[in-house]
Amino acid sequence: MQALVFTKAEKSLELKEVPKPKISKSTDVLVKISNCGVCGTDCHIFHGDISNVGDVFVPGHEAGGVVTAVGDDVTAVKVGDKVAIDPNKGCHGCNHCRNANPHFCKKGSFNDAFGIFRNGGFAEHAVVPEESLYLVPENFNMSHMSLVEPLSCVVHGWRKLTAGRQIQTGAKILVQGAGIIGSLWCCLMHFKGYRHVTVSEPSEERRGFIDGLQLGFKTTEPKGIEQDYDVVVDCSGAVRAIQDGINRVAHGGIFLQFGVAPSTATCEIRPFHIYEREITIQGVMVNPWAFPEAIELTNQLRARYLDFAKLGIGKYKLDEYKECFDKLSSGKISKASFVFE
């Protein structure tokens, strides 16, 4: 079968003919991949910005498809089922896992993720543990498989944002960054009834993606931000944006750090500003226990919001990967999805 293979030592991504994977454990499932999204994390890995990855592996952690074979002890899915793949799982034994925080697991989660340490979805077939699979409805649009994992992260972020507080629909909200994650946050907020949303994004092309969704949200360059906000969600991971965003949080407001900054990046904040305004700074990492809700949300959003053309998502065959990454690097598309026949 065809697969994209990444070699960390050489920072090389190559299309190769590799053996079709086989079930080796009784709880393994073989999935024929239908769609797999390209995440910003993938690009960071390919550029060497994230080094905590496997030495040689098939990337792709935003995938789904159809079950084609199951191990002897598999009971949750059967051949022919449509499934979405959660790339993260815990070890089940550590303190984090036992306290329902598998995303902090040192042996699992990102440290053993599908498509980061284990072979992932940039291939025609993948072997996945049964526990990582979630059934999708029969009417589920398979092209949206590549959005379930990103939306699961947004779902986790929304839970963190609203934990112990109610965000009034009249709240003033700032979203920093209009890549695909910023766009998905905007879709969710509009779906939930929020209308006073401003999107800060330096790229005119990306601001155009938000405008094209016809949400009625204001889009602006970062220098056009002149007021304070009850909620600031950073989807950029850019140090300057993070600093500016924290300074734009109104009294009693919350700053949500959703975008991934470089691991060595630092920023300057004034502790007195946090004290005086009683603001909350909340981090968000990946997607614990969010997949079922994300699948349902994908179905709810698809008709009104998940138009690939409006979102700026490009579809590619696996052998078009060079064009795919060129378009991503140039900013001509907000996201890419590999589509398998």
Asked if 236 and 176 touch (Cβ cutoff 8 Å), the reply is yes
Question: Mean pLDDT over all residues of the chain?
Answer: 96
Q: Could you list the beta-strand ranges (E) of the chain.
A: 2-7, 12-17, 28-38, 56-57, 62-70, 82-85, 125-129, 133-135, 173-176, 197-200, 218-220, 229-234, 249-257, 280-283, 313-316, 335-339
Mean pLDDT confidence for 7-34: 97
- pLDDT exceeds cutoff 90 at 40: no
CA dihedral (110, 114, 115, 116) in degrees, to 10, reads: 30
Task: Write the DSSP string, 261-295.
Answer: --TT------HHHHHHHT-EEEE--S-TT-HHHHH
**Residue 310: how many CB atoms within 10 A of its CB?**
16
217-273 pLDDT, tens digit each? 999 999 999 899 999 999 999 999 999 999 999 999 999 999 999 888 999 999 999
286-328 pLDDT, tens digit each? 999 999 999 999 999 999 999 999 999 999 999 999 999 999 9
154-196 pLDDT, tens digit each? 999 999 999 999 999 999 999 999 999 999 999 999 999 999 9
Nearest to 133 by CA among 91, 199, 203, 78: 78
Q: What is the pLDDT confidence band of residue 52, given thresholds at 50, 70 and 90?
A: confident
Pairing of strands 56-57, 218-220: unpaired
Nearest to 114 by CA among 51, 13, 36: 36
pTM beyond 0.75, yes or no: yes
Residue found under tokens 């407001």: 253
Mean pLDDT confidence for 118-128: 98
Whole-angstrom distance, CA of residue 154 vs CA of residue 284: 9
State the burial class of residue 169 (Cβ atoms within 10 Å of its Cβ: 0-12, 13-18, 19+).
exposed
Q: What is the pLDDT confidence band of residue 44, given thresholds at 50, 70 and 90?
A: confident
pLDDT of 173 reads 99
Domains parsed from the chain with CATH numbers: 2-135+307-339 (3.90.180.10), 154-283 (3.40.50.720)
pLDDT of 218 reads 98
pLDDT of 159 reads 98
- pLDDT exceeds cutoff 90 at 48: no
Q: Three-state DSSP class for 254? A: strand
Q: What is the pLDDT confidence band of residue 95, given thresholds at 50, 70 and 90?
A: very high
Q: Three-state DSSP class for 76? A: coil
Asked if 265 and 60 touch (Cβ cutoff 8 Å), the reply is no
100-118 pLDDT, tens digit each? 999 999 999 888 999 999 9
Residue 261 structure tokens? 């900054």
